[in-house]
Amino acid sequence: MELNINNRTVFCHDNLEVLRGINTACIDLIYLDPPFNKKKTFTAPIGSSAEGASFCDIFREKDIKEEWLMDIKEDQPSIHSFLSAVKDIEGKQSYNFCYLAYMAIRLMECHRVLKNTGSLYLHCDPTMSHYLKLVLDCVFGEKNFRNEIVWCYYGPGSPNMRQFNRKHDIVFFYSKGYKWTFNKDFIRLEYKPSTIARGNYDSKSSSTGSGFRDIEKGKIPETWWTGMRTGGQMSKKERTGYPTQKPLALLERIIKASSLEGGIVLDPFCGCATTCVAAEKLGRQWIGIDVSIKAYDLVKDRLGKEVEGKGTLFYNNLVSFSTDPPKRTDQGVNYLPQKYVYIISNPKHKGYYKVGIAANIKSRLGSYQTGDPERKYKLEYSFLTPNFRQIEAYIHQKYDNSFEWVKGTLEDIKNDIEGFDGSQSG
């Protein structure tokens, strides 16, 4: 699918609306470093190049839209069940529930805009990594989980510490499908015989030496990454003062591994624009999104300083800025989102039918079957329509019901679904 956004564009807007405006299946690589649910506000120090940049890492129920929860329920019922369990355990105002709902709806859109050969890297820390792994498994599928990368770094700890010093982040790597880009020869590390463990070559070919010859080109990095300067260890040229800045070396490895020159890289939480700068240096196209206008200033400033042979003025003329989400061009002018209104039966509920909404009927039926040892759920009927929510509400209002189960004949319910014209509402 053709990209409907110009290269080198920074959007200052809610990233969900921007993601929803991007055409389906047009992005090669997504890296996102979202808030970590630390329950505090981060602000760049006065006098730094990122001065004025800040973001709130506190999630409350008032920040979560009912529309998000409805979309999650209809499109990703397994995530909805997971969120419901979190809320049941922690209470309605659970910070974790609110954070996960915020992230889930955005990860669903990230999955949509990726090409079938695309990849996603989600950067987090142990605060929420265990929760986010479950959400990612639901959105991308467990079979498309590629790696859990542990990025290790150094730094001082509190003199009053009563536990081990926390100095690592987690990066989850998922592919969208069974084919994905992985350029192993672009990311090999220097071969040092004294440090190469027995398992780092192919034992089947060791007798011929081909395994050793391959590793002498340099070894493919393990899933624990070190040696990337962060925080105050960064060079003065690279350091911006942005409170959660990640090193260029980290993004360069990810971009080299999972995209090709000219490929399209997207960062929905671009902050101080490290992803954008790394992508530019490596000859990729890029799109950045952030709620702060400071991201636009930082990307121009950093590109001028850090990309060899280019000046700030050059990038002033090339980097685009927008406060409005893009408009998709892969849909008709009068396009309205459509989903299925479905009817499902089970012999245990004689005289009743489950009427609900789903974007993927097969997936929805499967989610019911997994909860029934006898697998007796049966799809009786489905109807694709832009009026899915109005029709579902109308059926539940017209018929006696218990939750989503309504009492009536299959033929009558089908006729009411197909005959709905809007006049029945209200």
Same domain membership, residue 254 and residue 395:
no
Same domain membership, residue 357 and residue 242:
no
Same domain membership, residue 153 and residue 94:
yes
Asked whether the predicted pLDDT for residue 369 surpasses 60, the reply is yes
Q: In what order do the strands lie in the sheet with 145-152?
A: 224-225, 145-152, 168-175, 114-124, 27-32, 264-267, 285-290, 9-12, 320-322
Q: Domains in the chain: how many in total?
A: 2
User: How many percent of the chain have pLDDT more than 70?
Assistant: 89
What's the chain's average pLDDT?
88
Same domain membership, residue 316 and residue 365:
no
- Read off the pLDDT of residues 326-361 as tens digits, 9 standing for 90 and up: 999 998 888 888 999 999 999 999 999 999 999 999
Cα 3 to Cα 45: distance, rounded to the nearest angstrom? 37
- Read off the pLDDT of residues 143-187 as tens digits, 9 standing for 90 and up: 999 999 999 998 777 778 888 988 999 999 999 999 999 999 999
Cα 206 to Cα 185: distance, rounded to the nearest angstrom? 20
Same domain membership, residue 241 and residue 125:
yes
Same domain membership, residue 156 and residue 292:
yes
Same domain membership, residue 72 and residue 45:
yes
Please tell me the chain's helix, strand, coil percentages from 3-state DSSP, rounded to the nearest 5: 35, 20, 40
Asked whether the predicted pLDDT for residue 131 surpasses 90, the reply is yes
Same domain membership, residue 258 and residue 376:
no
**CA dist 27 to 123, 248, 267, Å?**
18, 21, 11
Cα 13 to Cα 367: distance, rounded to the nearest angstrom? 35
pLDDT at residue number 86: 93
Residue 119 contacts residue 176 (beta carbons within 8 Å)? yes
Cα 71 to Cα 311: distance, rounded to the nearest angstrom? 45
User: Helices 77-90 and 361-369 sit at what angle, rounded to 10 degrees?
Assistant: 50
Whether 16 maps to a domain, the answer reads yes
Sign of CA dihedral 281, 113, 67, 87: negative
Same domain membership, residue 122 and residue 22:
yes
Q: Which of 138-142, 161-165, 242-246 has the highest mean pLDDT?
A: 138-142
pLDDT at residue number 193: 61
Whether 209 maps to a domain, the answer reads no
In DSSP terms, which residues pair with 122 in a beta bridge? 32, 172
Cα 122 to Cα 132: distance, rounded to the nearest angstrom? 9
Residue 286 contacts residue 279 (beta carbons within 8 Å)? yes
Asked whether the predicted pLDDT for residue 109 surpasses 50, the reply is yes
For position 103, which CATH number holds?
3.40.50.150
Whether 216 maps to a domain, the answer reads no
Same domain membership, residue 104 and residue 143:
yes
Q: Which of the four pLDDT bands, split at 50, 70 and 90, describes residue 205?
A: very low
Instruction: Give the list of residues 6+ apart from residue 133 with CB closer than 8 angstroms, or none.
Output: 148, 172
The domain of 407 spans: 339-418
Q: Which of the four pLDDT bands, split at 50, 70 and 90, describes residue 31?
A: very high
Residue 377 CB-density burial (10 A; 0-12 exposed, 13-18 middle, 19+ buried) = buried
Please name which of 26, 9, 12, 15 lies closest in space to residue 329, comparing C-alpha atoms.
26
Backbone angles phi, psi at 147, to 5 degrees: -155, 150
Q: Which of the four pLDDT bands, split at 50, 70 and 90, describes residue 42?
A: low
Q: Work out the number of other CB atoms within 10 angstroms of the CB of residue 417.
A: 22
Whether 46 maps to a domain, the answer reads yes
Q: Which of the four pLDDT bands, split at 50, 70 and 90, describes residue 323?
A: very high
Question: Where is pLDDT greater, at 241 or 343?
Answer: 343
What are the structure tokens assigned to 177, written together? 């499908």
Amino acid at 233: Q
Same domain membership, residue 78 and residue 19:
yes
Amino acid at 309: G
